[in-house]
Structure 1
Amino acid sequence: MKGLKRRVAAGFCLIILLVVAVMEGLFLFTVRQYYLGSAIEALRTRATTSADFYNKYLPGYTLHDRSKYVLENISKNEFAKVEIVDPQKRVVLDSYGFAADGLIETSDVDHALRGETGVWVGDNKGTGERIIAVSNALENDQGNIVGVLRYTVSAEGLYSVINRITWIAIGVGLLVIAGSIVLSLLLAQRIINPISELTQVVKQIAKGNFSSRAKKRYDDEVGLLADSFNFMAEELGKNEKLKNDFISSISHELRTPLTSIKGWGETILSGNLEDKEETVLGLEVISRETDRLIGLVEELLDFSKYQSGEMKMNRCQIDLRHLVVDLEQQFGHHSNPKEISFVVACEPSPCMIVGDANRLKQLFVNLLDNAYKFTPPNGKIELIGTCTGKEAIVTVHDNGEGIEPEDLNRVMDKFYKGKSKKSGSGLGLSICKEIVRLHEGTITIESVPLEGTTVTVALPLAAQSHPVQT
């Protein structure tokens, strides 16, 4: 979680850093443009107005005479330095009354000599001072350029203000970034803490503590994850209980016939085999209990195959009438000590379905075995087969003890036996459900306690592309 927390916090910090950097850059650029732009625009207006005035009212003056006139009439409040430059870029005269040595090589003078308003911002070569210069052309009465009127002001004060604002902005930005880092760590902590708690709960579940639950702190995706995990933990707990109950039940189911087999085997071995009646009884018990063991083992093997998806289906077309007749013969003539009435009814016309005949017979044998197991003496069991336009429907109905409402929705779950004390593995109905699913059908159970149970199996009718069972 430390790595995840670090990545989340780093991500937040990176985003905030980029946002602050962009905003700082835009702010400083705007400040620079505002201060320098305002100063340049003010100086440009003054220089342009002056040049236009001198060009209009002093057209016949020589450059030297213009220089004297301009400098003699400069206002005492003029903050800019005024220079008169000849076409060779030499300063004829400035507002201080001097003619400077050297040439002025700045771009503003070049633009002015071409008849444009030139603006230049840079360092004065002589003093190293940062200045702003605006130059305009001076013309004679024929419109020819005879010189340049140049206004310059110091930009040091502007840059001082801009630098001060820059450092203030940088300081504020650093404070924002520092605060953002702290907030990012806190936010990352709020995100990671529920996940860390969930991780601890997962470890508890892995150790077998299925009662452990995650706390839902927020109604968000992490909260949804906690709900999903708690649901999973609850289901795991239920499955663990079912597994333990199944192990206990199957252990009892296996121990009972094995005890009988061992007991009667020792009885027969310890006798002299002269008591034929006792020997036959013992062998019958051994044979019956062996069949019971085989049935339990076969259920476990079938369930294992269904769970792993290894069960293969030998599909063919089957007439529902033949299946019902086989079941009637099997259950109508077997030993029935409880004298239960077995009633069979089926569709008179052919009703073809597609499936594995042996698995379908296993399905209905399981259902009928359950019906016989839970139906009291002198009760009644009905097996009814009908055919609708799209489905073949087989119904097994009994008037036995029924199923409690709280058990009804779970009787087909694996290992589930509910409150029944009858023998069995708890896998029979689960296997029935899987057989029906593999045949693309449906199975439903309706039951009223102490009145009986009805199991309805619906299977799709056959097309003509499968071979017919003979």
Structure 2
Amino acid sequence: MNRSIGKRLVRSFLLIIVLAVLTIEIFLVVGFKDFYYKNVETELESKLSVSLDYYNKFYSEKNLEDLIKENNNLMWSHINSEVQLLDSEGYVVFDTIGVLPSSPVDTVDIKSAKRGESNIYVGSSNYTNEVIMSVAGALTNDDGEIIGYIRLISSMQEANFAILKSSITTGMFGLVVVLITMFMSYLLANSIVKPIKELTSVAEKMVDGQYKVRSSVKTNDELGQLSKTLNMMAEEILKRDQIKNDFISSISHELRTPLTSIKGWAVVLKGAKPEERELLEDGLTIIENESDRLSKMVEELLDFSRFISGRIQLEKDTFNITDTCRDVAKQMKPRVESNKVEFINEIEDEKVLIIGDENRIRQLLINLIDNAIKFTSEKGWVKFQARREENNYVMLISDNGVGISKEELAHVKEKFYKGKHSKSHSGLGLSIADEITKLHNGKLEIFSELNIGTTVKVSIPIPEVEKKEDTNE
């Protein structure tokens, strides 16, 4: 997992958990210390209060020397702590453990006692070097004079040991938590990294052209969605690749057919006699027609190439699209009638100006009407309607031909797509028509039912200028 997302995840999780555990550990140790120290402090203050009450009741008439001589430890025998008696100067004159320092005691508890206050001192003992806690109080006689001080001292060794023990316990617990977290982080990271590795492997195979490979990641999360998308992409690539191969095969056949016909008739005409005029005319007519068909297919391929490469440029100008529709209808009428199909012209007379490439609009309409004728049987009909609808100029080419199935309808505008019908040729006609419509900011829609007929609707937006001119008129 070197330099991998898994390693980064584990490292990130561990860093967060270790910081959290350390923070908790610090708060716990501070809490333990406060707890144990507070208990010792409360105990010392309670003992000091009891000792001072005891002194005030039974020994307040005596001076410090008499108190030391006569009491004989009765006053503090009930106190389980070290007890010191200090004179008014701060010198220790009595200690229950027998240690009498030569220098006066000048700690914070003694200073506070001199001011009539109570304060706790925590520090090192000047004769045992261990940590102690002490509290002191003033001894006042019946005349209100301070004759000395009583000081209670408790070793913090037990409290510190309890704090250390608690800290070690919590530290061990924290270590266990970190180890468990490390293991869980590894499992979690692996659950993320493993499908990512599989997706990467599948993607690399697809880059190598192995589009039949599929990802088996089925999780209900973003990785599962990515896996699903990757599989769908591979299926789409395979489908489009198949369409492309079919197109190449089909277009090769379509190009070969007129070439074969041209070559065949060229051979026939080469051996024909001058007096065989009818044969010569038939042959030349066929060669001309086949050449036109070949030229048309090549032009379609060139157009399509320009459209998909974005090199096509419209020669835009303002023109009356109604006149264009009428011209196309006149041009296509003989072609429709020669196929023994009824041509219905329902172009409204209203003048409508649009901005666009008139030749491309002609190409679009001729293409659509030609398709309608091609897929309509004899004694059928082809209808051409054109009218303004609100902000658009709408052209509809309808027929009662073979129609298109629902499965094919979703793909008919795709590049290279050819229907199952035998009259389908290059598979570029509708793709080119759709591209021309889009270049005019329009919309091409196809409505069809199998064995009933097809309607192609082209909507071209009418510019604001034309609408203002209509208003002025």
TM-score, normalising length: structure 1: 0.90
**8 Å CA contact retained: 1:316, 1:356:** yes
Q: 3-state DSSP class of the match of 1:72? A: coil
Query: What's the CA shift string for 1:187-235, capped at 9, x where partnerless?
Result: 1111111111111211222233323222233212222222222222222
**8 Å CA contact retained: 1:113, 1:147:** no
Q: Distance in 2 between matches of 1:205 and 1:90?
A: 92
Q: What is the 5 A alignment of 1:172-251?
A: 172-251=173-252
Q: Which residue of 1 aligns with 2:358?
A: 357
**8 Å CA contact retained: 1:116, 1:137:** no
Q: Which amino acid aligns with 1:328?
A: A
Q: Which residue of 2 aligns with 1:33?
A: 34
Query: What's the CA shift string for 1:366-392, capped at 9, x where partnerless?
Result: 101101111112321111112223322
**8 Å CA contact retained: 1:440, 1:459:** yes
Aligned residues: 468
Q: Which residue of 2 aligns with 1:422?
A: 423
How far apart are 1:59 and its partner, in Å? 5.0
Q: Which residue of 2 aligns with 1:171?
A: 172
Q: Which residue of 1 aligns with 2:384?
A: 383
Q: 3-state DSSP class of the match of 1:464? A: helix
- Gap change, CA 1:67 and 1:419, over 3 Å in 2: farther
Q: Distance in 2 between matches of 1:388 and 1:364?
A: 18
Q: Which moved more, 1:458-467 or 1:98-107?
A: 458-467
Q: Which residue of 2 aligns with 1:120?
A: 121
Give unmatched runs, 5+ long, in structure 1.
none
Q: Distance in 1 between matches of 2:172 and 2:237?
A: 56
**8 Å CA contact retained: 1:315, 1:466:** no
Q: Distance in 2 between matches of 1:335 and 1:33?
A: 103
Q: What is the 5 A alignment of 1:195-344?
A: 195-268=196-269, 276-334=277-335, 337-344=338-345
Q: Percent identity?
A: 36
Q: Distance in 2 between matches of 1:102 and 1:16?
A: 52
Q: Distance in 2 between matches of 1:384 and 1:32?
A: 94
Q: Distance in 2 between matches of 1:340 and 1:378?
A: 5
**8 Å CA contact retained: 1:441, 1:460:** yes
How far apart are 1:266 and its partner, in Å? 4.9
Q: Which residue of 1 aligns with 2:401?
A: 400
- Gap change, CA 1:272 and 1:188, over 3 Å in 2: farther
- Gap change, CA 1:62 and 1:460, over 3 Å in 2: same
Q: 3-state DSSP class of the match of 1:136? A: strand
- Gap change, CA 1:319 and 1:98, over 3 Å in 2: closer
TM-score, normalising length: structure 2: 0.89
Give unmatched runs, 5+ long, in structure 2.
none
**8 Å CA contact retained: 2:336, 2:373:** no
How far apart are 1:466 and its partner, in Å? 10
Q: 3-state DSSP class of the match of 1:13? A: helix
Q: Distance in 2 between matches of 1:112 and 1:149?
A: 9
Q: Distance in 2 between matches of 1:411 and 1:263?
A: 35
**8 Å CA contact retained: 1:71, 1:95:** no
- Gap change, CA 1:466 and 1:351, over 3 Å in 2: closer
Q: Which amino acid aligns with 2:158?
A: G
How far apart are 1:81 and its partner, in Å? 0.5
**8 Å CA contact retained: 2:336, 2:343:** no
**8 Å CA contact retained: 1:91, 1:99:** yes
Q: Which amino acid aligns with 1:366?
A: N
Q: What is the 5 A alignment of 1:80-91?
A: 80-91=81-92
Q: Distance in 2 between matches of 1:12 and 1:119?
A: 44
How far apart are 1:272 and its partner, in Å? 7.5
Q: Distance in 2 between matches of 1:249 and 1:272?
A: 37
Q: Which amino acid aligns with 2:345?
A: V
Q: Which amino acid aligns with 1:414?
A: K
- Gap change, CA 1:252 and 1:55, over 3 Å in 2: farther
